[in-house]
């Protein structure tokens, strides 16, 4: 795919990987729809992109609310006329042992990491099918391949993303000319760990920062650009990306 002039919807674009992807895509000539709940952060990012010669639109969107997603997708279509790329990036990662019974956190992870991805996919995919082209990129995690104590529900949600992504590729790839890529990063320098309320696991994650050199959001964005720019006959279905010194 030639990215110049293409239109991308990026969920969770107000910080972390989503923010980094937005900047990288805009630098390649992609018109970016920046979706998240924090509209003030999105407007600031959109202003920055536009001041650098790019095109961006901030979209107030709560991915767990289908109506909010539909409204955001409609507004992006009205602005640019098409959506070529969907990046399902929105996600949360609280950590605690199962017997801590942080059931609100369990529900939130299922709502955002699973239902949020499904809502965005259900809203954007019909348009991609109609135009017989497009690319969907789903953010899974190392936790979508491996299991970690304290991350039972998070791991389960990211295993879901990995499975859903590959079956989506099987079902819509050849039939509708839509490529699907599942990105599975290891440790990335974002604010994801700020969501951990369990003291022991939060300290463990903070200590990890001193032990290995984390990936950057730009590293993840570059992997997406590689997948997007691959020849039309080639689908980069899965990418597992780790810091060199992350042994687990």
Catalytic residue IDs: 154
Closest CA to 3 of 137, 158, 195: 137
Residues near 230 by beta carbon (within 8 Å), at least 6 away in sequence: 1, 179, 236
Q: Give Cβ neighbours of residue 67 (< 8 Å, ≥ 6 apart).
A: none
Helix, strand or coil for residue 204?
helix
Q: Using CA atoms, how far apart are residues 111 and 163, in angstroms rounded to an integer?
A: 17
- Strand boundaries in the chain, DSSP class E: 7-11, 31-36, 56-60, 85-88, 134-139, 178-185, 238-241
Going by C-alpha positions, the residue among 130, 155, 131, 153 that lies closest to residue 142 is 155
Q: Which residue has the tokens 């991609």?
A: 128
Neighbours of 66 (CB within 10 A): 16
């Amino acid at each position: 795919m030639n990215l110049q002039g293409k239109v991308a919807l990026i969920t969770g674009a107000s910080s972390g990987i989503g923010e980094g992807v937005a900047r990288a895509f805009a630098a390649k000539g992609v018109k970016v729809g920046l979706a998240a709940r924090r509209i003030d952060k999105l407007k600031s990012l959109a202003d920055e992109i536009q001041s650098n010669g790019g095109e961006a639109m901030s979209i107030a969107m709560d991915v767990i609310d289908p109506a909010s997603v539909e409204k955001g997708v409609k507004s992006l279509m009205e602005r640019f006329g098409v959506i070529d790329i969907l990046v399902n990036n929105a996600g949360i990662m609280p950590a605690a042992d199962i017997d801590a019974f942080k059931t609100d956190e369990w529900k939130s992870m299922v709502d955002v990491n699973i239902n949020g991805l499904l809502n965005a996919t259900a809203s954007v995919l019909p348009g991609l099918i109609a135009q017989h082209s497009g690319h969907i990129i789903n953010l899974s995690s190392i936790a979508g391949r491996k299991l970690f104590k304290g991350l039972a529900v998070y791991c389960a949600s990211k295993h879901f993303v990995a499975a859903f992504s590959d079956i989506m590729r099987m079902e819509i790839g050849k039939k509708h000319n839509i490529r699907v890529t599942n990105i599975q990063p290891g440790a990335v320098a974002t604010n994801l760990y700020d969501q951990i309320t369990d003291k022991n696991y939060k300290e463990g994650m903070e200590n990890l920062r001193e032990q290995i050199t984390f990936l950057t959001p730009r590293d993840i964005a570059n992997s997406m650009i590689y997948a997007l720019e691959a020849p039309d006959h080639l689908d980069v279905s899965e990418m597992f990306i780790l810091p060199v010194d992350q042994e687990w």
